[in-house]
Amino acid sequence: LRQLTTLVAIADHGSFSAAARALYTVESNVSGHVARLERELGVTLVDRQRGGLTDEGVIVVDRARRVLHELEDLAAEMASRGNEVTGDSRLGVIGTTARWLLPQLLGQVSRAHPRVHVTIHEGNTSSLLPRLQASQIDAAILHLPIDEPELQVDALFAEDLLLLAHSRFGLAGCESASLKELAKIPLLLPPRGTALRRIIDRAAAAADVELQAQAEIDGVRLLASLAFEGYGPA
């Protein structure tokens, strides 16, 4: 276990020395643990010249994260064999949801399971989904659809998408705007490849229009801020 923990620390912190600091040990111990693991597996896990993981090292780290997480779950399960649930829970949440959902969620968890320690990781779907698949977080609240057969996906709620437009644009004051109207105006949009952009592009395709991106902004709060400042509708 110590060897696996050491290798994961190298992956997370980027070097033997940084991993040693994170593990509160000396660099020689880190090097020794990795060397023993390499001998046991018969492969090189860390490229000493480049400083990063080898292809085999990436595979082992991915499996090691799952093993270590399973052990954490096992320890928590054994500790909670009575009526009280204990342990750590790591939850990923997209920023648009975190502000209104987390106060309710954390309050309910605290009251129902006071010995559960919750760690929140804020991000977007594109950044949180790989962490969920790598078992770096236990669960995540993300934008749908998610087509990953190894994950259990449940729809929790639906959010409305709102158009923000400064008063300098003709859309200001309108109760609604069609996608055909929006296709005539350069917009501030999320970057291509993000979950939110895929939702918008699918809606545009269904309406048989193509939206124009004046700029692509990664972050809903930044999008809203720029729209309020008048840089463009978002």
Q: In this predicted model, what pLDDT tens digit does every residue of 87-105 receive, in sequence order?
A: 788 888 887 777 777 788 7
CATH hierarchy code of domain 160-234: 3.40.190.10
Helices (H), 80-140: 95-112, 125-133
CATH hierarchy code of domain 85-141: 3.40.190.10
CATH architecture of the domain 2-76 equals Orthogonal Bundle (1.10)
- pLDDT tens for 102-115 read 788 788 878 877 87
β-pairing, 213-216 vs 187-189, is: parallel
pTM for the whole structure: 0.55
> Tokens 């993000």 belong to which residue?
194
Distance of CA 38 to the CA centre of its chain: 30
Residue range(s) occupied by CATH 3.40.190.10 in the chain: 85-141, 160-234
**Which two three-digit tokens encode residue 155?**
């729809």
Contact 29, 21 (CB under 8 A): no
